[in-house]
Structure 1
């Protein structure tokens, strides 16, 4: 099982940088980068809520579950 993070796609759609998103949701740019690059082990619902509010998207636009056999494909 793998969760794919599409935060970079949503940032590109809004033409927003990691630093701009970090400032808008009041977390560090490093923490946004960790999430964006798929290295995060967890995400708080309050953070996900803030991201969706700022980017005007749904959680499913950012987090996508992909079966194991499709991860390497």
Structure 2
């Protein structure tokens, strides 16, 4: 099974989505900070694109959340 369909992966992405929304940030704002198009974030949040670990850490940093803590919260 591909990781993108794994329930733990999906929960991890949902943590990022919640943190983004709780922070009042749009997909565009996150994408701008990553120097990526808005569709990059949309595809991650829509489970169309797998997020690698370095991208994950970078997004957590932008969101002001601890990457390790978020992983521990779903595992």
TM surpasses 0.5: yes
- 2:40 is the alignment partner of 1:31: yes
Cα distance 1:44–1:54, how it changes in 2: closer, same or farther (>3 A)?
A: same
- 2:27 is the alignment partner of 1:18: yes
- 2:58 is the alignment partner of 1:50: yes
- TM-score, normalised to structure 1's length? 0.69
- TM-score, normalised to structure 2's length? 0.67
Provide the rounded CA distance (Å) in 1 between the counterparts of 2:74 and 2:48: 15
Return the structure number with greater helix share. 2
Provide the rounded CA distance (Å) in 2 between the counterparts of 1:54 and 1:24: 8
Is the Cα contact below 8 Å between 1:14 and 1:55 reproduced in 2? yes
Q: CA RMSD in A?
A: 2.2
Compare relative contact order (CA 8 Å, sep 6+) and give the higher one, 1 or 2: 1
Q: Which has the larger radius of gyration?
A: 1
* Structure 2, unpaired ranges of 5+: 1-5
Provide the rounded CA distance (Å) in 1 between the counterparts of 2:70 and 2:38: 20
The structural deviation recorded for 1:51 is 0.3
Is the Cα contact below 8 Å between 1:25 and 1:47 reproduced in 2? no
Cα distance 1:18–1:52, how it changes in 2: closer, same or farther (>3 A)?
A: same
